[in-house]
Structure 1
């Protein structure tokens, strides 16, 4: 067998089952091609992609501008490590920091790496700037969070599947209820060793939980009053997904300031990943101003691939696509239509309990228990009808198509969803 040999779906699944670790439970579809909002399986069947690689492919599959930037850079220089300068990283750092309104960018590769970076940065700032005694800094996190699956991150997860039998766990985290300002206030007031508050603007993996209006702004204000860093994990919600460039969009030079979304909140530390590359290459980043980022000195943190020339070229192209094609505005407009249509449908169909979300990050809550297979079975039927989505937490189906989708395509997808659920038995 060579890399050019064509496989059937059955053969591809068998290879993964036999030779790969079983750390995922994929929908039984083998994808071999993608373009825009569509993907095709090994046999040539066409589907709407309503997961977007967990919001990594916001700009659509194989966007020509992003792919061209990647290919051209790959032909020139791929990797230098950070032992030397390269002629792309500085351009990318200037581009991104000016776009998002920060002084400095620390480049990494994956979302989990970026979260780990932000945690290290917050702790070092706490010791060297805030004056907390070494090894006593604590970070407030939210229940039902999802920030990745490294050992430190699962230490403050309450998902038993991600956590069980991976201890001992890392200390230094305090869990509070999401969207509960009183809990945050109590945690801040009762402990002088708080370095930071790490929060997802919308809890995606937990089931697309959107916080109350004003929650993020009030939380940031509380943190500022206690000299605590506000860390926004926008790995999934960032890059136009929720109808703004950032779900916490504030104080940036984005050309789409008139797009709707949450009240403006400027994070002290911003974490980006996924669609920062349009899904073409692993790219993540941590952004902060000088008084925070300057605590990082040579040898404190790094990555061989972080900040490589391909990543820099791809990220700049991916961000340009978002602005050029006004994807935040499109996500906002189409998201309103999606929720209105599915909310009206929920009033007519007992199987749909509710619909929630922001922009094109939405969820449909199925009227069954979390332990049931109903949501999975519906996704299997959706697959048969040409639309790919996946459940999260048992009875919740997340719907997050590429942001390049147009209204006609969206209405076609809404029709497929309604028809599938109506006929489901």
Structure 2
């Protein structure tokens, strides 16, 4: 049995946001978060051995790099001096232990509280000692699809699989716990976005945007690596669930102008997907929803940035344009499937009907494009994310003939920051 004890921090202060419009008529407080840089929560993991009636602490003090400071501390000489002098272990949270089938080996995932490191460790449950199998270090922050133990499991009693952004994109790896040998099974400038192991543990099923950053397909491959076999064929977004007997695929599919519908397909390459739901109304279908241009342009830093462009049907004489800025930051909205910003998608159609050209950009910090794009605004919000939108407008001026003096902007939370 494993359990965790968390020591709460009592010295941190949380912000309080006043809510002036209330049912009571009085101003009420909305509790907020702590400021960035406050003291981090500390936790410890223990293992109870029922046969020996003993408790062991999982030791993290010997993890390689446990005392390493983030690079940003160098910008603060006083903090650097104090933390170097203290030479303390960083706080970590542990996931696991995750045991192999015969119970002879266990792995744990240690996640640094400062989000700079992720360690996969072999656990000696009899002593609580942990030895390193894989370390991921990111001076911005650890992240990416499937990273952090969300896609981790055993192939057999000696090998486990996991995802890592070591190559710059989240890909699939296998590690032998006995030899420490690691093998990368997928590669390229695309991301493994979901992962599942077949029941017989001979095949990986995975979703990824290998064909295009804005297209997801479902694939299979041997657990030994080799050819990646594409199972879905419809261009757009394919969210797939395997049937319990693994003979069928339930596909939640959509396209730019077509909301999500459910399809069924045999688990075979080239098999026909059959639509089994129809969720839109006749009124909805009566309007010719646009399939916006999906384009890319070079930003001022030389990186490719993707955008949706809704050209005006009959451009207004002033040649105006509107920039829609998606929220969240780490979110993808330039793709070939139905947008989660469906209200804004419909509003953008209305703007285009009324003579406005609209652009929607996956600016730096958006998801779907690998580690560098994901972390590109680290410690500089309002930098590349903003300039990408400015560069997108420049592209509209050059290629779509809009007037730079008549450009407006709306969108999610990044707009108000």
Per the TM superposition, whether the score is higher than 0.5 is: no
More strand by share: 2
TM-score (structure 2 length as normaliser): 0.25
Greater relative contact order (CA < 8 Å, ≥ 6 in sequence)? 1
More helix by share: 1
